[in-house]
Structure 1
Amino acid sequence: MTDLARRALAEAVGTGLLVTAVIGSGIMAQRLSPGDVGLQLLENSTATAFALTVLILIMGPVSGAHFNPVVSLADWLLSRRDGLKGLVYLPAQVAGAIGGAVLANLMFELPAITTSTHLRTGPALWLGEIVATAGLVTLIFALTRTGRAALAPPAVGAYIGAAYWFTSSTSFANPAVTLGRTLTDTFAGIAPASAPGFIAAQLIGAGLGLALVRLLYPADPLPHLDRPEDDRESHRSGQQPQRPGR
């Protein structure tokens, strides 16, 4: 298997398991705490935050653990290198998200694919997605541009867990995950008609996050999201780290 194929596989599996965690924990929460939406959200957000942290730890050394098309796009826009990686990552992430939704549904003895009827629309929810995505992009690239990529797993997990609660949209912040969640008519679902508005808001949020990163961290002394363990070693030795594919 080529290095790019291996990284794409990591992105597909990681994104898929993230969607499985989001949907699966939502289904479990709905069954364990019927009638208590607040408790359901607490259970769903806690499981998602922990799962995301673990998945970043597993897949980060392989692919950078983007699991998110806007993160891959932001990485390319900031570096202008390795455009082929982005072309491979994005379909892998979407395919993984679809597979993750199917897996979650099947684990709970539901039809493999059901179209969600959960409408999530309106300016307030779109603003929530803009805020959630802008914060996520800013966090990730603030860490990588300051040599603190090792903190990404707990930091990103904590941010997403918190953003479930402080954003009106419960922080999807991910176009691939949004598409995956259209395929389950459960607590975590989103109606297909609502997905375009969420994705548009996520793209706007990513753009705002990128602008903030460029203003706050104009220099980029370290590589971006691939091979963080190599980045840290190069940084400690004082050498200019090598970017994958160079």
Structure 2
Amino acid sequence: MVTLDGKPVSVNDMLPLALTNIGHFTSMRVAADGSIRGLALHMERLVRDCKTVWSADLDPERVRECVRQGLEGQSRPCIVRVTIYDPKVEMGRPGDANEPHILVSVRGAGALPPEPLRAKSVVYERDLPEVKHAGLFGALHARGAAQRTGFGDALFIGRDGLVSEGGTWNIGFVDQEGTVVWPEAPVLPGVTMALLQQRAGHRVATVTLAQAKGMAAAFATNTSIGVRPLSAIDDAEFPVEHRVLSQLQETYLSIPGENL
């Protein structure tokens, strides 16, 4: 079931999103008990991005209500995606669209964490990286290209040669001293990353591709995967069982969920 403002969505409602692809979203993992880790941060993201994309205010309580309606009768755990867009948006006059609506879709959730990931480095920079927007062509094209050469996903490297993020995930490293390192670069401020930064010692620093390959371990984070070890970046292999990675996974799983 996909709903728009709490009601079943129609094809005509979806056409503007499909044809213009202007919108922003957040995805949240709903636990078996119905709680969501980082729920408040997800709501903050939606409100912040709505102001950036649409120059409009968004009522987080209305979003919560739409999510509750969208989850009715759904099996859990699951992933709920909240997309904010204006069905009246037009390609010629996107600036006229300023009445965003709430689209809720639900899919099944996999196990935490998923299998380790092999990433291929590619030179790519997302548009407006601080916003979790629906413009995913470049990121998914890079992911598909990486998969066609035997990798699981793409790791983005900026034109400045610095590591930034994955297609739909943040990347973190464990240096040779056992400290967690997050790349200093234009990236999406991920909710899972923020939750871990609140609870575990870390540092933020610029990371070149060569430095990344010399780290003791690497991992990906987002709401769907939690803390997922990286087994390789290009031809550089990493251990998927590491003391710090285990601590991060345990820390993440210990974070209590918030109720809608």
- TM-score normalised per structure 1: 0.28
Q: Which has the higher helix share?
A: 1
Q: Which has the larger radius of gyration?
A: 2
